[in-house]
Structure 1
């Protein structure tokens, strides 16, 4: 967090420590706290990493505590449980590896949007335990604007027409008339000056 106090140095934020070149202290106090930050652009797919120890994983739960319900993905005994999932994540999340080989319980979030910004937690249930154990906290930051190719093309065409019309003295909405007679003699009619 931007204003969070470093546990090892009361009165200093992580950002202030960076300014004072205490890089090692920052790495220890800020980066190994179990939370990582992942930055992504709208429309992209993103993998939120989570690695669990052991091979006897019975359940995986990804949550976002600020939502109700808070479940992003629930996977129990080889099956996804979409009935418990927050509606905004339906058909947009899956595990990197449903076989949970090597403890990889990372989450793929598809077609990210600005509403996906938040803190996600990854937990697993292993062996004979009934408790889901927190493994990782991931902060997802969605940045930038998504611009489709079509939108960019429309803006480009409009800018081109406007520039062309400014040079020729034509009104911006009169783009079908290629009559350049006024441009040739260097004079513009009163209607073209508006």
Structure 2
């Protein structure tokens, strides 16, 4: 049972958050889609930075006043028309300092601008970006998949072992009754002689 709870936890975690691994110098697109297609504002943030804004897009314009300086000229929305709710962020020429947690938020038509360009809603997507020099960085998703498969195989092996043990126990408990009947028949045959 614990194996299945662990598996459900891993699947839930994978569905809510995304882990993206890239190499320095690569361009990367962090995928995010909003359910509402009447989007008025898009906000991408890195909570560990100050200012935390990676990109703020409102009413068809990028607002760069509060953007963290390290992202100036390196970020853009994949689709500025925001067709079909696509608010994915493209980050160009990544460096190791780009590693971190990125949060995507949107506001629909009722959004009015405040002094800060902050959308207070929960993020609709959280992505952890890892920028790594090694080739092993791409093996992380493979290792997770291998781990899940290994856990499932161990669970299946335990199930089969318990099933076989129970089956042998049931067969042993049936044998003495059959042996008693056979012994009685033999006694009857020898006494008749």
Q: Shorter chain as normaliser: what TM range? A: 0.5 to 0.7
Residues in 1 aligned to 2:51 and 2:87: alpha-carbon distance in whole angstroms: 21
Q: 2:86 aligns with which of 104, 112, 129?
A: 104
Q: 2-side partners of 1:25 and 1:62: how far apart? A: 27
- Cα pair 2:77 2:87 within 8 Å, conserved: yes
Q: 1:89 aligns with which of 71, 94, 97?
A: 71
Deviation at 1:128, TM superposition (A): 1.1
Distance in 2, Cα, partners of 1:73 & 1:124:
12
SS at match of 2:80: coil
| Length, aligned pairs only | 127
| Aligned residue runs from structure 1 range 1-194, under 5 A | 22-28=6-12, 30-32=13-15, 34-130=16-112, 131-133=119-121, 134-144=123-133
TM-score under structure 2 length normalisation: 0.61
What is the CA distance between 1:23 and its match in structure 2? 3.2
- The structure with higher relative contact order (CA 8 Å, sep 6+) is 2
Q: CA deviation at 1:21?
A: 9.7
Q: Structure 1: 5+ residue runs without aligned partners?
A: 1-8, 10-16, 147-194
Query: Which structure shows the bigger proportion of residues in helix conformation?
Result: 2
Q: Which whole-Å deviations, capped at 9, do the CAs of 1:35-63 have from their partners, x for residues lacking one?
A: 11010000000001110011110000000
User: Rg larger in 1 or in 2?
Assistant: 2
Report deviation, 1:145.
5.8
CA deviation vs aligned residue, 1:74-108 (integer Å, no higher than 9, x gap): 00000000111000000000000000000000000
Unaligned runs of 5+ in 2: 113-118, 136-193
User: CA separation in 2, counterparts of 1:140 and 1:41?
Assistant: 10
Q: What TM-score do you get using the length of structure 1 for normalisation?
A: 0.60
Task: Indicate the residue corresponding to 1:172 in structure 2.
Answer: none
